[in-house]
Chains A and B, each alone.
Chain A
Amino acid sequence: MIPSRVEPPGLNQRAHLIARAFRKSRVIMGIRRKKLASFALIGIALFYLAGFVGFLDSVGLPILPYDPIETKVSERYMEPSISHPFGTDELGRDMMVRVIYAMTTSSMISALVILGGGIFINISLALISGYYGGWRDSLIVKVGETLSGVPTLILLIVITASVGPGYKDFVAKTAEVIHWEWVARSGIAEIFLLFIVVSLISWVGSVFVLRSRISVLRESGFVESARALGASDARIMFWHILPNLMGLIALGLSSLLAISIGAEIGLSYLGLGIKSPNPSFGIMFYSLTIADLQNHLYLFIPPAVIVTSVLFMSWMLGDALVSIVESKEGE
């Protein structure tokens, strides 16, 4: 048969094709059709936007009207108003700014986990395990099963508690030597540790899903044909198999989002993650007492609503993705 093109697709066209495959993929189409899912996507985008605003403010751009650490006791426990939309806390710090900074922390960690580790680790482990099979598959599956056999939070606690002190010492000493005190000060080092720890153990679920799909695809007709035509393993993996996984990858990433945000908050709450005065939702919830709940409920509502809705929205997105991927809808 005569090909539709005059020459085989070139390198730059391939990237273009993958992008088109993603854009036209039933995942995106499906999300567009599902109102809740689009709502969730927009909510998560807003969360990241707020986090980005906080990040810009923290590096010195004067965007936000207050400082998250500076105290002003004369304005303590002010109820929500126009100048302080979320009120002020016990020390007169503006809660809105503190919440935005906490969103910065959460979004930085989750973005790092997803972009810096998640995609790379998930896809490469799944491809190795699913495509090659054999001992590589057994090794990855066994390690994954071991990790998932231990409760995640306990594993996180064990790792951060055992590595944390030595790591902080190392960072503090290095920062002193190379005069990068801001690293120790800004909490970036802590965020990085959390990123590593969360990345290390959060891959299991989505790698397993991807791997089983790959091992099915590996045996399918179009892969056989490609192999018969002499295509290399790399070509088959990235050109033939990967485009078929977009839905599952997006699903994995959305659950990674919830895991990483939740892990950061949980660990910070337990004192193993971000440390005060760097703002984090975990610390915020830790420092609110039951009496605060009774007397100053407004301190609690905005962070609680934001955290719950972000977690809820990321699961909602995941849920929509599952139904899209597993159904024939959009094909």
Chain B
Amino acid sequence: MKIFVILLIGLSALILACAGGEDSPAPDSMIRAITGEKVFRTNSPKPRTLDPQQCNDVGCARFIDEIYSGLLTLVLVPKQEAELYAKDHHGLPMLTGEVMEQMPSLWQKWAKTYLREQDSMAIALAPDIAKEVPESKYNSDGTVSYTFELRRNVFFHNGKHMTAHDFKFSFERAASGNWPDRFSVFTIPNADLYLSDIVGVRERMFNKEGVEEVSGVEVLGDYTLRITIDAPKSYFLWKLTYPTAFVIDKDKIIDPITGEVQKEDWTDPPNGTGPFSAVPGNEETVLAANSNFYLGRPYLDKIVFNHQGGQSTIFAYDAGEVDITGVGTDYLPRTKPEHEKYDPEFAKQYRSGPLFDIWYVVFNTEKPPFDDPDVRRAFAMALDTEELNVIGEGLFTPAESIIPPGITGYDQDLRGIPFDPKGAEELLKGSRYWGTEELKSVEFIRGGSGPEAGSFSEAILGMWRKHIEKPLGISIIVDEPATGGVYQNRVTGGDYEIAIAGWVADYPDPEDFLDLKLYCNRITDPITGKERCERDYANNHARYYNPEFDRLLEEARIEQDLEKRIALYQEAQRIAINDVPWIPLVHSRNSIAIKPHVSGYYPAPMVIPIFRFIDIVE
């Protein structure tokens, strides 16, 4: 699932973290003993939004995946059984509607066998509100249609019956762009990133006169929906698992009686079709089981997300106040038998697994001196990602490529820019900016709160100080850590020179990394007359533009042969590594501890709906 989060000590695995509030709840076991309720407790920051069409980070997606649902979804299946489910779909497993209906109990069965092992699960595409994952139908005009048969027993949390009309409305709202008189206050063009393959989405987004609907989404009956995309794109179905494609209740947005349009406030409380209904709050957000859920009521009665956690959840975890905690490098010794702090009970509760993510340094390639690839490359050569790996104490893998291991198209032969301080010096001295004001001081911004952004960026700074600042007299001015919103606005608006960022997979396809993050296709803005990227700079924060790279991505989008498609992405990736809009730093790992009474939790490599399968047992 996608993210653009502040780098907190590089331990993205700790996103669940944060410690007990002042009036800590009674230990879980006590509550269960008294009420018999199955409650899962965790600490989590308050989500930025509960509007699925505005959410684009891990923090809100974690909630939205449980509260809402869409046509398709992502499910983990054991690698050993994956072949059973693998059809001809990228060689990746795909579940049928029938399997989905058995899923909670099937999952519990898998849990007993596979979940304790590291890296034992693969991501599968599965139908959710749709009865089955549809076949592609190739039309004579080059477009491709998918006809979704919807389940008939889908209800919103308020009891309203959901039909295909709700989906059509949802897609049209998502694509309403920045039209203030329409339904949204969007500035995040999620629809452009995740739905623009659908015929008519871009026409509606870019305010073409008279385009009131998305022509590629057709209601063929109350329970039949046809989606037409502009070309055969094999990654498209994955995009329907992203929150932007989830179904929302039209009556919550447009008041059926007064016709008044709610832009933001409609999500309190949200009305979705997912396995849990939500009561949001400032102190905690409580998700309660939706007994009308079309795939069967989830096992858990409640999930309590405490928003008032402090710095370390691990104490709350030890005290039995939460059921899950991130385990950072500070507490890893508790899991290692050779260490004096080894705690066998804790070690049994510890789980780790890969995360499909990439953390990187991003340059603003439009701002001098970083519009010169040599300068960018020199900064990359002065960074030793192995050192970051040492700090990560095994929770990181040094990144050589943009696409992380585990995602189709990962190129294990690719090597990034090597660590070479001498070479960096030569490159900088040979650069056209050498000796100019632009290269005398450069600005480095970091996200975070408090006085220090974290040891990860401190380490990067320390290396640059050693290899660039001191020997070459280039000052690296560090701006104060900016909190989430400010940081994101600066990076999106191009008001930076160097920044640190991360990206977590939305779906296991290379398109999610290369195309969404670095594709530009420079066009002339019809209104301002200035040149800009086709999708503006919403996601391509590096403002990177290389026509050859773009051409390869465009070719890869419609390539039907998987091997050829992967080859195209790998070639594009080599170009991007070579041009250094990013310095890939590390891929991180999940590192959590989970209480033994929680059955079926697996640290997923990206955000996927998981609480619907989890049980609490004694």
Contacts and interface: CB of A to CB of B under 8 A. Distances in A.
Interface stretch (B235-243, B293-301, B374-382, B454-462): B454-462
A181 interface: yes
A287 B454 CA distance: 8
B24 to A, nearest CB: 16
B333 A268 contact: no
Interface string B311-340: 110010000000000001011010000000
Contacts of B455: 90-91, 287
A71 B451 contact: no
Interface string A69-82: 11111101000000
A283 B452 contact: yes
A275 B451 contact: yes
Given A91-B455, A271-B451, 18 more contacts: A70-B462, A70-B465, A71-B461, A72-B466, A91-B391, A91-B458, A168-B480, A182-B475, A274-B451, A276-B453, A277-B478, A280-B451, A282-B451, A290-B312, A291-B328, A291-B330, A292-B330, A295-B330
A93 interface: yes
Interface in B524-565: none
Contacts of B463: 71
A185 B451 contact: no
Contacts of A308: none
Interface of B: 311-312, 315, 328, 330-331, 333, 341, 387, 390-391, 437, 440-441, 449-453, 455, 458-459, 461-463, 465-466, 470, 475, 477-481
15 contacts: A71-B387, A72-B462, A91-B391, A91-B462, A181-B440, A182-B475, A184-B477, A269-B451, A270-B450, A270-B451, A271-B481, A275-B481, A276-B451, A280-B451, A287-B455
Given A275-B480, A276-B452, A282-B451, A71 B462 contact: yes
A277 B480 CA distance: 9
Q: Closest 9 CB pairs between A and B?
A: A71-B462, A291-B330, A276-B452, A73-B387, A181-B441, A271-B450, A275-B480, A283-B451, A271-B451
Contacts of A67: 465-466, 470
Contacts of A182: 475
A169 B391 CA distance: 33
Interface in A246-282: 268-271, 273-277, 280, 282
Contacts of B315: 290
Given A274-B451, A276-B478, A70 B440 contact: no
Contacts of A291: 312, 328, 330-331
Contact of A69 (B312, B390, B440, B462): B462
Tell which of A72, A185, A274 has the most Cβ of chain B within 10 Å. Answer: A185
Nearest to B388: A73
Contact of A70 (B450, B451, B466, B480): B466
A179 interface: yes
Contact of A286 (B341, B437, B440, B452): B452
Contacts of A280: 451
A70 B449 contact: no
A174 B60 CA distance: 39
A182 B473 CA distance: 12
Given A70-B470, A71-B459, A289-B330, A271 B475 contact: no
Nearest to A190: B480
Contacts of B478: 275-277
B458 A71 contact: yes
Nearest to B387: A73
A276 B480 CA distance: 7
Contacts of B391: 73, 76, 90-91
Nearest to B330: A291
A277 B14 CA distance: 24
A172 B459 CA distance: 24
Given A69-B462, A292-B330, A287 B452 contact: yes
Contacts of B466: 67, 70-72
A48 B479 CA distance: 28
A273 B451 contact: yes
A90 to B, nearest CB: 5
B118 to A, nearest CB: 23
A100 to B, nearest CB: 17
A277 B481 contact: no
Contacts of B459: 71, 73, 91
A238 to B, nearest CB: 43
B450 A286 contact: yes
Contact of A181 (B333, B458, B465, B477): B477
B449 A277 contact: no
Contacts of A91: 391, 455, 458-459, 462
Nearest to B482: A165
Nearest to B389: A73
Interface string A125-168: 00000000000000000000000000000000000000000001
A75 to B, nearest CB: 11
Contacts of B312: 289-291
A280 B437 CA distance: 30
Nearest to A164: B480
B461 A69 contact: yes
Contacts of B440: 181
A292 B459 CA distance: 17
Interface string A176-207: 00010110110000000000000000000000
A183 to B, nearest CB: 10
Contacts of A185: 441, 475, 477
B462 A93 contact: yes
A237 B469 CA distance: 54
Contacts of B331: 291
Contacts of A271: 449-451, 480-481
Nearest to A168: B480
Interface in A271-316: 271, 273-277, 280, 282-283, 286-287, 289-292, 295
B342 to A, nearest CB: 13
B387 A276 contact: no
Tell which of A93, A274, A276, A277 has the most Cβ of chain B within 10 Å. Answer: A276
A328 to B, nearest CB: 48
Nearest to B477: A185
A289 B311 contact: yes
A290 B313 CA distance: 12
B437 to A, nearest CB: 7
B451 A76 contact: no
Contacts of A172: 479
Interface string A34-71: 00000000000000000000000000000000010111
A130 to B, nearest CB: 40
A44 to B, nearest CB: 25
A181 B387 contact: no
A277 B479 CA distance: 10
Nearest to A278: B478
A116 to B, nearest CB: 24
Contacts of B450: 270-271, 286
Nearest to A283: B451
A226 B175 CA distance: 86
Contacts of B341: 295
Contacts of B475: 181-182, 185
Interface in A76-109: 76, 90-91, 93
A268 B449 CA distance: 12
A124 to B, nearest CB: 34
A90 B10 CA distance: 13
Nearest to A287: B452
Nearest to B461: A277
Contacts of A90: 391, 455
B328 to A, nearest CB: 8
Nearest to B312: A290
A181 B328 CA distance: 37
A282 B391 CA distance: 23
A324 to B, nearest CB: 39
Contacts of A70: 462, 465-466, 470
A157 B475 CA distance: 30
